[in-house]
Amino acid sequence: MVNENENHGQRELEPPSDEELARLEMELPDIALPADSELLELPDLENMEAAIAAEREARRIRYLASLPRLKRCGAKTRSGKPCQCWAMPNGRCYLHGGASTGPKTPEGRRRAIEAMQAGWKRWLEKRKAKGATGG
């Protein structure tokens, strides 16, 4: 089974599909054995079915959780009507959700600084090539 917490929501393994679960059910042993046989210990079929049912239920919950929230933005527009755009997780659409406050992660901040420095260097080199001194 997959521990989603350890992967920050990224799954290394997909849960088995319904087809796979159906195939597993098909592969349950179907062997006729004498009633007193001690050669094989058959798996606990009752518990296996419970495990399969639990996995199905977990898959159903994950599926429902993955569905997009059917929610509109609802911000008041210039026409006075509520905005009908689909809402982002913050409850507003991309037009009404507020401006970005910039990169958050250390890598993102470093990329942003590098891009600024690179742009500044390009500008400076252009100026030098032109021979401009000021203004």
Kindly identify the residues of this chain, within the stretch 113-132, that bind Zn ion according to CB under 5 A. none
* CB-nearer residue toward Zn ion: 59 or 96: 96
* CB-nearer residue toward Zn ion: 81 or 130: 81
Name which position in 83, 109, 121, 123 contacts Zn ion (CB under 5 A).
83
Residue 73 sits in the site that holds Zn ion (CB under 5 A): yes
Q: What is the chain written as a DSSP string?
A: ---TTTTTT--SSPPPPHHHHHHHHHTS------TT--S-----HHHHHHHHHHHHHHHHHHHHHHSPP--B---B-TTSSBP-SBP-TTSS-TTTS-------SHHHHHHHHHHHHHHHHHHHHHHHHHT----
List the beta bridge partners of residue 132.
Answer: none
How many chain residues bind Zn ion (CB under 5 A)? 7
Only one of the segments 21-29, 88-96, 101-109, 119-127 lies at the binding site for Zn ion (rule: CB under 5 A); that segment is 88-96
* CB-nearer residue toward Zn ion: 48 or 85: 85
Only one of the segments 2-10, 36-44, 80-88, 127-135 lies at the binding site for Zn ion (rule: CB under 5 A); that segment is 80-88
Residues that bind Zn ion (CB under 5 A): 73, 75, 83, 85, 93, 95-96
